[in-house]
């Protein structure tokens, strides 16, 4: 009687083991196939597919009609808490040379830093200065801070949009 119950348990374990071995073989074949494909694939080939937000890549893709000058809008819309418990909503963008792939990659890598710089700048302003904001002075100061952290290129101008203060 004991042999019948232990035999069933070992048969289930054997089935589980065979399933794991089969999955390991399938994964190994997929990894080897992908590695071989990546070696023989041309270096300038486009991606086969994209994961994540398909519109995020469009934020830094060049426009064929503008000779490699595009607008970087990867910073997105910022919601910055202000000193008087109100919130500033602002979008910051700037032109850049999309033909310079190294600079484009640096810009994409610095998005978090760009957000922090803008947030620190606006949150440090007194509430009365925000109601009469000198937009050009703000752009120049933020532009100066952005260019301080960039090593591979420079930003020439900033654009503000969605400049809203919510109480």
* Residue in the structure block whose two tokens are 């302003």: 125
- Reported pTM: 0.60
Residue 89 has pLDDT above 80, yes or no: yes
Is residue 145 predicted with pLDDT exceeding 70? Answer: yes
**57-166: what fold?**
Tetrahydropterin Synthase; Chain A (3.30.479)
Measured CA to CA, the distance from residue 35 to residue 41 in angstroms comes to 10
Which residue from 67, 112, 73 is spatially nearest to 90, judged by alpha carbons?
73
- Identify the pLDDT of residue 1: 46
- Residue 32: both structure tokens together: 């080897």
Residue among 113, 102, 98 nearest 147 (CA) = 113
Six-digit token string for 79: 């919601």
Instruction: Give the tokens for residue 4.
Output: 């019948």
Across the range 102-130, mean pLDDT stands at 89
Least-confidence region, from 2-11, 44-53, 93-102: 2-11
Give residue-wise pLDDT tens across range 42-77: 877 777 766 655 555 445 444 445 577 899 999 999
CA distance 67 to 70: 9
Q: Which residues are CB-neighbours of 90 under 8 A, at least 6 positions away?
A: 77, 78, 80, 118, 122, 160, 161, 162, 163, 164
Q: What is the dihedral of CA 146, 148, 154, 157, to 10 degrees?
A: 40
Which of the residue ranges 60-64, 103-107, 131-135, 136-140 would you say has the lowest mean pLDDT? 60-64
Q: Model confidence at 31, in pLDDT bands (50, 70, 90)?
A: very high
Q: CB 44: neighbour CB atoms within 10 A?
A: 5
């Amino acid at each position: 009687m004991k042999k019948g119950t232990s035999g069933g348990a070992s048969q289930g374990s054997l089935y589980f083991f065979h399933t794991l071995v089969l999955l390991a073989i399938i994964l190994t074949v997929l990894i080897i196939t992908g590695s071989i494909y990546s070696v023989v694939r041309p270096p300038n080939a486009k991606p086969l597919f994209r994961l994540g937000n398909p519109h995020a890549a469009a934020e830094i893709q060049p426009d064929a009609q503008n000779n490699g000058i595009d607008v970087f809008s990867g910073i997105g819309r910022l919601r910055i808490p202000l000193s008087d418990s109100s919130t500033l909503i602002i979008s910051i963008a700037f032109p850049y040379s999309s033909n310079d792939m190294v600079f484009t990659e640096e810009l994409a890598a610095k998005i978090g830093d760009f957000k922090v710089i803008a947030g620190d700048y606006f949150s440090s302003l007194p509430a009365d200065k925000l109601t009469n904001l000198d937009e050009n002075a703000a752009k120049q100061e933020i532009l100066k801070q952005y260019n301080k952290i960039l090593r591979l290129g420079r930003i020439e101008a900033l654009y503000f949009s969605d400049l809203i203060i919510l109480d």
